[in-house]
Structure formats: structure tokens, C-alpha cells
Amino acid sequence: MAIHPDSNALLKAIPLVLEGVSVDVFDTDGVSAASFGQKQPNAEEVRIHVPSGELVASIGASDPSLELVRSLLTTIAERERLESDMESMNGSAWRLLEQVSMMGEALPRLSAGGDDKEIAALGARACHRAASVQRVVYLAGDPYKEYCEVIVHDAGETDRQLVDTGIDLEPMQPVKGLLKEILSAEGVVLRSVTKGEHLGEEGSVEALAKRQILGVPVTYGSGDKRVILGALILIDRTASLADEDQSCEPQLGNEEGQVAESFAAMLGAVLGARKVAELGKELAMAQTIQQQILPEGPVVLDGFDVAADYFACGAVGGDYYDYLPLSDGRTMVVVADVSGHNLASGMVMVGARAMLRTMALVHNEPEQVFSRVGELMYQDLTRTERFLTAAAVAVQPNGRTVDYVSAGHNDLMVYRAKTDSVERLESEDVILGFLPKPEYTARQLLLEPGDCILLYTDGIPEAMDHDGEMYGEDRLALLLAQLAPNHSAQRILDGIMQELDVFRRGQMGTDDVTAVVIRCTVEGNIR
């Protein structure tokens, strides 16, 4: 089986640039003619037929580069079909052949780029050559941001030519109108310029077009994991001899759209892979920070046995627990939960921890601490569309009276040793950040030896089994009643976590899990 050298070069480049991808070439009898890259187990296959056989790429089923590989193989297949029918080949076909060759050259260069700006410049210049257009502009941004950055414009022209033509784009462009449409599109967007008018305001990307503008989003991933990185914009096709002979203006069309989509796919794969790598480093750092801000070990409170545990369902979670010393000698045991369980939630929780600790140094009462934190975090939580629930118990060493405050948190559970029963105290106050000036109230609880307090986040009652049934707070209360008699706080906590794991049958939960058990151990003073 013979594959054209340009196609062969591109096939070789794919596994070199995209890790974990292999490509096999088979002839019409199914015999292997060539192999590039190492095949991975549990991979998904992309099969593309060519005149002399078949191209088969193996790639992880969830790999965001899947569509790029499919696009590259399809382009190669088209090239091979054109090569097999040289007699009917026209100008468009020749340009497609050139495109394949350029893509084979561009792909390794893109992966070797020093930074995002350099990669965007390389991709835009390669696209400029392949598409034969007047200008190519690359915008970095997404439709949900107010502005996008013009990283590259007028690819293929020198800086001197830019000055001479009087083109001066602002580095930041408002995301509105046509730019917003292109950034949020699923495919190619094509617009023509009305004679005597402009598509956009003076100094905008759209205003550079004299005849037409074609744009395609640069994305990474697919489905609900699709991330918009930017847009590749082609402006006005270069006139050819055929255009001049026919006395008509050159038009952008399907051919240029295919070129733009191919290069956008390459840019998306390379830039996206870089961002994933960077995010991995950031997640690792955030995970380390979050682990370091949690208490190093169990707190020592005379007259009480305390145990706590925390599990994040992802690299970074939105749950938090802490032991905050108050100036009157009490310790405020806090459990909190930020909506979501990702990096953003984790960063909000870091800020909430800092505020809780600061306010605990200023105010003696837990309700005062919550009121002030809610006031200070109102704007931040509103802007980030996050909310924060929290509960706290203020404990006096060797005391039996504790103060409890809740901000829209899960029910507080109290096991009473004398009656062998569990009380559930519902939250009566709003979540933190819901009101600009919230006021919280505390309730007092009188504890007896053997009584236990359970603070927890919704990752426990909302845990699901294989049938989609929630664990629920009723089941948790029954479990607390079973475990609390004659067991230490740590044994009670371990029993809850083990039972939760059995309920989920070992599968990973979809929410963070945090729990704190406070057990009264000795007779103490009633404060």
C-alpha cells in the first residue's frame, strides 16, 4: 500500500505530538502496511477508508484530541482520493493537497511553541498560508468574558506592513456582536460586508473585512467538558487568476471553512493540552494548600473527646472543618460547605477560613463571628455564584453547656445517653452570603456524660447507592444511636464512614464528605 509522502509525514507526526495516540495503515486486504505510535489498552478506534486501504487511529475514548485525530485522518483520506484521480484534479484539490502538507509541517511546530502567544502565532500563520486569505486573526477568550485578547492579527504580514496599512487593533476587544457569535458557535460562522458599510466599529476585528469574514471557535474537549479557548478568524479571500478572469470578487466558502476548522482543531488540541498540564500543577498546589490549612491532628479539650474526618471527591473540595480558639477560653468547632467541589469552591473555602479565624479573634460569641463573616463575604459569594453553609459549636473545657449556631447547614444531631435517642436541631438561619447584613442567633445545649454531637456536611445524607437512593438523615440518626453508646468519638466517626462506604458499595461519591464528633466524657461545670 502506497501513501503519499506528505500524508505519511502527517501520520508520523500525530503520535509524536499527541501522546497516547497510535495510527495503523492497512491495505485493502487488511494487511498492516505501517504503524506509528504505541497502541494503548482500552482505546477507541477511529477508522477512515482510503482508496488503497484503511487508516485506523487508537485513542482514549475520553481524550479531547479524538475529534482532532478524526479530522486529520479525514483530511488525509480526501488527499489520497484526490491523488488517485489526478486527471480530474482542479485548483481546489491542489490547495487541499497543500493544506495536508502544511498541517504536517505545522503540527510539530505548534507543540514545540514556547507559550500560548507563540503557538497562536504559528497556527495563524500556517492557516494564513493554507487558506489563501488576506488576514488571519486569533482571539483568546470565551463568550462569557467581557473582553477577549487579540493575540495574533494579520498573520503573514510584517510589522512594517502593518504600520503602512494603518491597521492598529486594540489588544483587548469587547465580546459582543459577531465576535460573541463566533466564540460561542458550534462550527463555522460566515458573514458578508454590505457595500459601503462595516461589520463592526472602527478599530474592531470585524471592521477589517472589506468583503467577508469567516470565524470558527477554538475549543478543547467535547460535550459538557467542552472549553472555549478562543477563535480563529479569516478575513477576505485572496484573489486568484480565475477570480480576475471572471471579473468577480473572491468569496470565502466551504474550502476556507474546512481549512479554518482543521487549524482550529490543531490549535485547540495543543493549547488545551497545555492548559490541562498547567491546571494539573495548579490543582496539585491547591490540594497541598487545602490539606495544610486543615487541623494537623485532633484537638484536646478537657472533658470532651473530639474526632474529625474529611474526604474530597475531587482533587480540591469545598468542605472545611476547624477548631477556632475564642478569647474567653472556649473553642469553636466549625464545619462548613461551599457549593460545588472544584478548584473554585476550594479557593472560596480558603477565603472563608481566613475570615472565620480573623473574626474569632475579634468576637467571643459564635453568632457574632457568623454575622460578621456573612457580611464580609456577601459580595464575593454573590459574584462567584457560590453559597456557604456552616455550623459551629462553642465548647468550654470541662463545661457542659455549649453554644450552637447554624447558617443554613444540615441538622445538628445530638445523641442523648440517658434516653438513648437522637435529637435533630434544624437550622433556623440563612446561609452565609445570602444577605448583606445577616444576624445569627445561638442556641444553648446542656450535655451529660456520654452525650454526642455530630456535625457533618451534605455529602453524607446525599450519598447514593447503585439504585440512586440517598443515604438520608434518618438513616444517619439511627446509625449514630447505634454507635454512640460506649464508643469513643473516633470509633463513632470510623463507623459512620465505613457504613457510608458499604452503602455506596465502594464507589466514589459525587460530593465532599466531612464530619466532626464531639463526645462529652466527664461531669463538668454548668456554665
Specify the length of the chain in residues: 527
Give the strand pairing for 133-140 and 227-237: antiparallel
Q: Which three cell numbers stand for residue 55?
A: 487508516
What are 14-20's contacts with CB under 8 Å, separation 24+? 14/57, 14/69, 14/72, 14/107, 16/108, 17/107, 17/108, 17/110, 17/111, 17/270, 18/59, 18/65, 18/68, 18/69, 18/269, 18/273, 20/59, 20/60, 20/63
CB 519 within 8 A of CB 400: no
CB 451 within 8 A of CB 417: yes
How far, in Å, CA of 233 to CA of 214, rounded? Answer: 6
Q: Go through the domains of the chain in sequence order and give each one's CATH number.
A: 1-101 (3.30.450), 113-283 (3.30.450.40), 294-520 (3.60.40.10)
CB neighbours of residue 210 within 10 Å:
13
Sheet holding 43-50, edge to edge: 32-36, 22-27, 53-60, 43-50
- DSSP string across 406-470: EEBPPPEEEEETTTTEEEEE---SPPBTSSSS-----EEEE--TT-EEEEE-TTTTT-B-TTS-B
- Radius of gyration for the chain, computed over Cα atoms and rounded to the nearest angstrom: 31
CB neighbours of residue 341 within 10 Å:
22
For the whole model, what pTM was predicted? 0.53
CB neighbours of residue 457 within 10 Å:
28
pLDDT in tens, the chain (527 residues): 567 777 888 888 888 877 788 888 888 878 888 888 888 777 888 888 888 888 988 887 666 677 778 878 888 887 777 766 554 444 454 454 455 555 555 555 555 556 778 888 887 887 887 778 888 999 988 888 888 888 888 776 554 444 444 556 778 888 888 898 898 888 899 988 887 777 877 778 888 888 899 999 998 877 777 888 889 999 988 875 445 444 567 788 887 888 888 888 878 877 877 777 666 665 566 666 666 667 877 889 999 999 999 887 765 667 889 999 998 889 999 999 887 656 667 777 878 888 888 899 889 899 999 999 989 888 877 777 778 899 999 999 988 899 999 999 999 999 999 999 999 999 889 998 888 999 999 999 999 999 999 999 998 999 888 888 899 999 999 999 999 998 999 999 999 999 998 998 866 666 788 999 999 997 655 44
Question: Residue 259 is inside which H or E element, if any?
Answer: helix 254-293
Q: Which three cell numbers stand for residue 284?
A: 496539585
Alpha helices in 28-131 (DSSP H): 66-83, 91-111, 116-131
Q: Which residues on neighbouring strands pair with residue 321, listed in sequence order?
A: 335
CA 277: distance to chain centroid? 12
CB 312 within 8 A of CB 288: no
Q: How many helices (H) and strands (E) does the chain have?
A: 12, 20
CB 493 within 8 A of CB 309: yes
Q: Which residues on neighbouring strands pair with residue 310, listed in sequence order?
A: 514
How far, in Å, CA of 122 to CA of 109, rounded? Answer: 7
End-to-end CA distance of the chain: 90
CB 36 within 8 A of CB 56: no
Cα three-residue angle 124-130-133, rounded to 5 degrees: 75
CB 369 within 8 A of CB 363: yes
Cα three-residue angle 256-212-241, rounded to 5 degrees: 65
Question: Cell 467571643 identifies what position?
Answer: 364
CB neighbours of residue 161 within 10 Å:
11
Question: Cell 448583606 identifies what position?
Answer: 436
Sheet holding 172-174, edge to edge: 172-174, 147-152, 133-140, 227-237, 212-220, 189-192
CB 369 within 8 A of CB 273: no
At residue 91, the pLDDT reads: 47
At residue 174, the pLDDT reads: 86
